[in-house]
Amino acid sequence: MRFLASVNGNVLVAGLLMGGLMLLARPAADGPGLFKANCSMCHGTDGKGFQALKTPDFTDPKWQASVTDKQITEVIKNGKKDTAMPAFEGKLKNEEILALVAYVRSFGSKKK
Ligand code: HEC
């Protein structure tokens, strides 16, 4: 029993260490940087969009209220059919897409 308990303890400590190292090794996805590099040419660095491209104004509370996080995630992953909005699945990692969803949402809370 005692032996088992100490083995379990070691496994637990090793597991925690590994988890901690993996977290350290993985940089948090940079929402603003990703947006600038992949989205701002069509959505504007300020997220307000361009009339000529028919991109929505992410700072508009009405737009923010009209979409769910899930919809934003799907649109970034799969693009929007019959529009210029491209699909980013396979180009961006899941966590990068999630960081972009959060960044798109953050435009709604910025008064400009
Ligand atoms: C080539 C231009 C282009 C690029 C690049 C682009 N988009 Fe879009 N996006 C569009 C257009 C055009 C629309 C509007 C589609 C429509 O008519 O509903 C759109 C719509 C959206 C919408 C709103 C969808 C909805 O249902 O209202 C979101 C969210 C979005 N884009 C996020 C992004 C993000 C995040 C990126 C970068 C990873 C990105 N877009 C890159 C052109 C682009």
Residue 96's pLDDT is 97
CA of 58 to the centre of ligand 1 (A): 10
Is residue 98 in contact with ligand 1, taking CB distance under 6 Å?
no
Residue 24's pLDDT is 60
Give phi and psi for 67, each to the nearest 5.
-125, 145
CB neighbours (10 Å) of residue 109? 9
Q: What is the CATH number of the domain that holds 61?
A: 1.10.760.10
Domain range for 81 is: 29-108
- Per-residue pLDDT reduced to its tens digit, 20-55: 666 666 667 999 999 999 999 999 999 999 999 999
CA of 29 to the centre of ligand 1 (A): 19
Task: Please tell me whether residue 92 adopts helix, strand or coil conformation.
Answer: strand
To test the pocket of ligand 1, the residue of 41, 42, 77, 78 to mutate (highest count of ligand atoms within 8 Å of its CB) is 42
- 20 found inside a domain: no
- 8 found inside a domain: no
Closest residue by CA, ligand 1 atom 10: 85
Q: How far is CA 31 from CA 38, 99, 103, in A?
A: 10, 5, 6
Residue 76's pLDDT is 98
- 60 found inside a domain: yes
- 68 found inside a domain: yes
Q: Kindly report which listed range (11-20, 43-52, 87-96) carries the lowest average pLDDT score.
A: 11-20
- 86 found inside a domain: yes
Task: Please tell me whether residue 106 adopts helix, strand or coil conformation.
Answer: helix
What does the longest C-alpha to C-alpha distance in the chain come to? 72
- Give the chain's domain count: 1
Closest residue by CA, ligand 1 atom 5: 39
Alpha helices in the chain (DSSP H): 2-25, 31-38, 40-43, 61-66, 69-78, 94-108
Residue 4's pLDDT is 60
- 18 found inside a domain: no
Question: Relative to the CA of 34, which ligand 1 atom is closest?
Answer: 38
